[in-house]
Amino acid sequence: MMASKRQARFAAGKIPPETLLRTVYTNLGRRDKRVLVGPGIGRDSAAVKQDGTVLVFTADPITGTPSHIGQHSVEINANDIATTGARPKWYLCTILLPIGTREKALKEIAGEIHDTAKRLGITVVGGHTEATPGINRPIISGFMIGETRGRILSAEDGRPGDRILLTKTAGLEGTAILARDKATLLKKKAVPDKLLKLARSYQEHISVVEEALLTAKLRGVHALHDPTEGGVLNGLWEMAEASNLGIEVWADKIPVAPATQVICLTLGLDPLKLMSSGTLLLAVEGPKRWMVQRALLKFPGRLTEVGKLTRRDKGRVLVKHGKRHVLTAVPQDELYKLTR
């Protein structure tokens, strides 16, 4: 008799795509014809038709850092809504606190939620808060609802020949987290305070709401995606997977900020596989990319062409230092390598 197949244990971070396909996406309850976008690889939001409007839903926890989790939660969930072209409107969350947490800590989290939501025009409409056993730091799981009367974009809408544009630089969110949470280690390794301060300021650039809402209205923009866990490379793979297409990525063209470069070199991490909220990926019809560039001139940061979508039979390719490699899903964000 053959031994039963040994099941893998999950590492920190996202569950592997192949596991989701086997165990999660096959268990979706009753079908509803009003669902325009349901769950899938690279789909960060769901869309449901409701009378004359479309409601968009997303849910995301903050688990990679214990600091500024209120701000992170609102912005990361708002990003997912905005990349569909919908305006984020209503926010709820579950806040889990270690037993013994003081009221001051909860007030700080709630204050960040309030300030960030107000800045983005979002209303906090509910949630749940408790002190719970089994955790050693606060965890927040956010839920956002948006609405639109226009078209809904999805990462699955990329087309062969689309150029992939990237805003800002890779690893912004991860850089800010590392500069805060690993400051003592980085100082021991001679990273100067001035650079750490600059890196922490990247925290203020992880929203892509306004640029996503602007570009979603432009003709020739077929898909938007905000890369989070697994960084820019995982976000690019997710775009190709969602659209069932091939992709060619030019790694040497992906911009990395100096502070990100220094911190990643110091810690032995790959900036292209580091949490990258704040970066927006756009799949754009080739001749329209200059129009997108003009539209984004009002926003700070650069816009870089980093690859193109191709037919599925062309494969998924990462071109690095002139050599071609297979582009696959990133199994674990670089941030979690420091928490093993």
Q: Say if residue 175 is in the same domain as residue 243.
A: yes
Show which of 113, 148, 183 is a domain's final residue: 148
pLDDT band at 40 (very low <50, low <70, confident <90, very high): confident
Q: Say if residue 171 is in the same domain as residue 129.
A: no
CATH number for 215 = 3.90.650.10
Using CA atoms in the order 200, 88, 243, 52, what is the torsion angle rounded to 10 degrees?
-170
Q: Say if residue 178 is in the same domain as residue 52.
A: no
43/30 Cα distance (integer angstroms): 19
- Would the pLDDT of 2 be above 70? no
Mean pLDDT of 77-83: 97
- Residue 1: both structure tokens together: 């008799």
pLDDT band at 1 (very low <50, low <70, confident <90, very high): very low
Range of the domain at 76: 33-148
Q: Say if residue 143 is in the same domain as residue 168.
A: no
Q: Say if residue 214 is in the same domain as residue 231.
A: yes
Give SS3 for 118.
helix
pLDDT for position 155? 84
Q: Say if residue 198 is in the same domain as residue 325.
A: yes
- Would the pLDDT of 3 be above 70? no
95/215 Cα distance (integer angstroms): 33
pLDDT for position 80? 96
Q: Say if residue 139 is in the same domain as residue 176.
A: no
pLDDT for position 4? 43
pLDDT for position 104? 96
Q: Say if residue 141 is in the same domain as residue 255.
A: no
CATH number for 142 = 3.30.1330.10
- Would the pLDDT of 74 be above 50? yes
pLDDT for position 5? 53
In a domain, 82, yes or no: yes
DSSP state of 173: H
In a domain, 26, yes or no: no
pLDDT for position 298? 86
The domain total for the chain is: 2
In a domain, 209, yes or no: yes
Mean pLDDT of 140-151: 95
In a domain, 251, yes or no: yes
256/188 Cα distance (integer angstroms): 23
Whether the CA torsion 326, 242, 83, 220 is positive or negative: it is positive
In a domain, 176, yes or no: yes
Is residue 85 classed exposed, middle or buried when 0-12, 13-18 and 19+ CB atoms within 10 A define those classes? buried
Q: Say if residue 101 is in the same domain as residue 218.
A: no
pLDDT digits 0-9 by tens, 249-276:
999 999 999 999 999 999 999 999 999 9
In a domain, 181, yes or no: yes
Q: Say if residue 315 is in the same domain as residue 170.
A: yes
pLDDT band at 107 (very low <50, low <70, confident <90, very high): very high
Q: Say if residue 219 is in the same domain as residue 87.
A: no
The strands making up 323-326's β-sheet, listed across from edge to edge, are: 221-225, 281-284, 163-167, 303-310, 246-250, 316-320, 323-326
Lowest mean pLDDT among 29-33, 39-43, 232-236, 300-304: 39-43
Q: Say if residue 39 is in the same domain as residue 188.
A: no
The strands making up 46-50's β-sheet, listed across from edge to edge, are: 35-37, 46-50, 53-62, 139-148, 87-98, 123-132
Position of tokens 């606190």? 97
Residue of 113 and 52 predicted with greater confidence: 113
In a domain, 332, yes or no: yes
In a domain, 289, yes or no: yes
Look over the chain and give the mean of its residue pLDDT values, rounded to a whole number: 93
With CA atoms as reference, report the closest residue to 212 among 258, 152, 169.
152
